Amino acid sequence: MNIKQTVFALFTVAFLFSCGKEEPTKKQEKQEEFNHFVEQFADIKVLRYKIPNFEELTLKEKKLVYYLTQAGLAGRDIMWDQNYRHNLKIRMALESINQNYKGDRESDNFKAFKTYLKRVWFSNGIHHHYSNDKIKPEFSKDYFANDLLKNSNTTLSNDVIEVLFNAADAKKVNKKAGVDNILTSAINFYAPDITDKEVSEFYKTVYKGPKGMPIEAGLNSKLVRENGKLVEKVWKSGGMYGTAIDKIIEWLEKAKTVAENEKQAEALSLLIEYYKTGSLDIWDKYCIAWVTSTEGNIDWINGFIEVYNDPKGYRGSYETIVQIKDFDMSRKMKVLSDNAQWFEDNSPLNPAHKKKNVVGVSYKTVNVAGEAGDASPSTPIGVNLPNNNWIRQQHGSKSVSLGNIIGAYNNAGGTGRLKEFAHDDQEIELEEKYGQIADKLHTALHEVVGHASGVINKGVGQPKETLQNYASTMEEGRADLVGLYYLMDPKLQELGLTDSWRNLGMAAYDGYIRNGLMTQLIRINLGDDIEEDHMVNRQWVSAWAFEQGKKDNVIEKIVKENGKTYYNINNYDKLREIFGRLLKETQRIKSEGDFEAAKALVEGYGVKVDQQIHKEVLKRNKQFKSAPYSGFVNPVLEPVLGADGNITDIVIKQPKSFEEQMLFYAKNYSFLTEK
């Protein structure tokens, strides 16, 4: 599981980045503020991040980081094709226009084209990375076909051109109730004519793994129809995406030669075998080897992992993150892992739904060295893996907080939206003093304790089978609730994680309710439902809590004389009790596989938007120039070669622009497109 969150809702610190100068010397870099800001367009802000202490790694460790990042980038095209079947053709055409267009590049139309290209780059395709809506070009089809294509000597089939401008394939992922979620989703995990019912029937009879150790069926394949029958086209060497996967394997083989220890080498060997065979039994063996490989300074996430993009929750999006241990923060946060059993024992869950033995939960703060696929440019801030429940229960899980990513967000933020939407000075003061640590601890509790907690009743299937299209948002909401419940607990102060558990909890509750009921609405268009799983879960948690507390006025809706609406928490202790009740219920739903209860909760509280509040939020937000979504360019790792051709060092270079990085990637990592 991963947490993808937006800057404005989480981090309210001073605007710290400086303008900087081009190519400063090392001495200057130490003296000047690192410029986290790259550029802004449409609703997107692009940032850059540092890799702290990279120079302190040994050459062997630097090589490992380099090889793993190259392996990740080698699969970049996979994510594009997974997102939509025409994406790679479209990207090639757009990049050709960008490079070769001979017309007026200063016209409003061409500027609109450049913005469209950048939005497509950022989303790894033509659907918005967060809303899942198809991105609408702000130029005409005639201009595209009769000017841009012709004056750049670029070709694109008419049917694909039509898709860019018509209403077809409007949603990448559609999880709405009452529609065929597979047929109405443009995601390229299924042939376009396959239905929701067919998918459900297909997975009733497929191989599901040994008894008590179910594989993640469907995780690494596309479901298609051949000769009237449904078959899986497996993503592996020699299979679908084989040319890119062979490049991934090539770099992983090199990484294995510089592994820090035998456990790492074993895990890499199994990952390579998995990519060669496509066997999900091997994938489980890899996950066990990976999660139990806890020594060393370097770690990685690599594979078809998160299933948010599949309406049925089977298929994993390609994702890689290369990590270097943040030694100082990891020591501070290890305390949560060490006390995971205490949190489980003291949770408000039904005793039958509690884990008697929380195994192997490890939590580290890491610094990202490179990302690709579903993790880039839009990145998670925290990750908890593996996702297979039986592996988590028997072998544990790894939870990481991406420290330098969070740091970059913090140093590129601002306090304007906080002051606009917070009810009073106390709320602002609490957020400014405790907001950052509250966010970090919520992420940690969400990942370490939340996803690791609770058990599924014996005989009940996996959530993707029982809760179906609601599984992801229910799981994210459940983990959020674990964090919320314990953020207002004296235990955190006892463990030395804060100087005031009460102030910490108040800041966390204020921020969550403010975001869940108001500020996150700036990410969607007026009149739209909320659809992204994390946004949906934040609203159903907040809206349910608001309704449950009405009798005692726990959360008060206040309209001031200026007509602006605020949600003010009057009783934090009662709100904690409400969060505890909802946590107990969400765990019951997961443990018992109660689909109807999940549907009632999500559809009743998480999807529909109060249109008057939404209209007001959008109006109040117009004063802010900072984009609501942020993502990153990745540092470029360059090998330094000696006279004998061997690597003597790895150096870091920062991209000057988002476009520079995208063109570099297109030139060097396009393994699924014809040149």
Measure the CA–CA gap between 637 and 71, rounded to whole angstroms.
13
Measure the CA–CA gap between 405 and 411, rounded to whole angstroms.
10
Q: What is the pLDDT of residue 415?
A: 76
617: its two tokens: 């939020």
Contact 406, 47 (CB under 8 A): no
Instruction: Please write the tens of the pLDDT for every residue from 626-640.
Output: 888 999 999 999 999
Q: What is the pLDDT of residue 361?
A: 73
Q: What is the pLDDT of residue 195?
A: 98
Question: Model confidence at 674, in pLDDT bands (50, 70, 90)?
Answer: low
The residue-averaged pLDDT of 594-623 equals 96
CA 464 to centroid of chain Cα atoms? 19
- Whether 196 has a pLDDT exceeding 50, the answer reads yes
Measure the CA–CA gap between 666 and 76, rounded to whole angstroms.
9
Instruction: Please write the tens of the pLDDT for every residue from 570-607.
Output: 999 999 999 999 999 999 999 999 999 999 999 999 99
Question: Model confidence at 2, in pLDDT bands (50, 70, 90)?
Answer: confident
The amino acid occupying position 102 is K
Measure the CA–CA gap between 386 and 228, rounded to whole angstroms.
35
Measure the CA–CA gap between 394 and 398, rounded to whole angstroms.
13
Measure the CA–CA gap between 318 and 127, rounded to whole angstroms.
17
107: its two tokens: 């016209």
530: its two tokens: 């909320």
Q: What percent of the chain has pLDDT over 90?
A: 84
Q: What is the pLDDT of residue 333?
A: 75
Q: Which residues pair with 652 in a beta bridge?
A: 637
Q: What is the pLDDT of residue 14?
A: 27
The residue-averaged pLDDT of 143-160 equals 98
The amino acid occupying position 647 is I
- Phi, psi values for residue 384, rounded to 5°: -130, 120
The bridge status of strand 298-304 relative to strand 2-3 is unpaired
Instruction: Please write the tens of the pLDDT for every residue from 493-522.
Output: 999 999 999 999 999 999 999 999 999 999
Contact 219, 314 (CB under 8 A): yes
- Whether 254 has a pLDDT exceeding 50, the answer reads yes
Q: What is the pLDDT of residue 123?
A: 98
Q: Which residues pair with 235 in a beta bridge?
A: 240
Measure the CA–CA gap between 228 and 514, rounded to whole angstroms.
51
Phi-psi region of 487 (alpha: psi -120 to 50; beta: other; left: phi over 0): alpha
- Phi, psi values for residue 291, rounded to 5°: -70, -25
Closest CA to 449 of 582, 343, 359: 343
Higher pLDDT, 489 or 365: 489
Instruction: Please write the tens of the pLDDT for every residue from 89-105.
Output: 999 999 999 999 999 99
Please give the C-alpha separations between residue 153 and each of 145, 148, 662, in angstroms, as whole numbers.
11, 9, 21
Q: What is the pLDDT of residue 413?
A: 65
- pLDDT, the chain, mean: 92
Give the burial string for 255-265 (b: 16+ CB within 10 Å, else e). bbebbbeebbb
The residue-averaged pLDDT of 308-312 equals 96
Residue written as tokens 């601002």? Answer: 414
Among the residue ranges 45-49, 136-140, 323-327, 543-547, the one predicted with the least confidence is 323-327
Measure the CA–CA gap between 11 and 440, rounded to whole angstroms.
10
Among the residue ranges 16-20, 36-40, 342-346, 447-451, the one predicted with the least confidence is 16-20
Among the residue ranges 11-25, 67-81, 408-422, the one predicted with the least confidence is 11-25
Higher pLDDT, 289 or 23: 289
Among the residue ranges 10-24, 228-242, 309-323, 578-592, the one predicted with the least confidence is 10-24
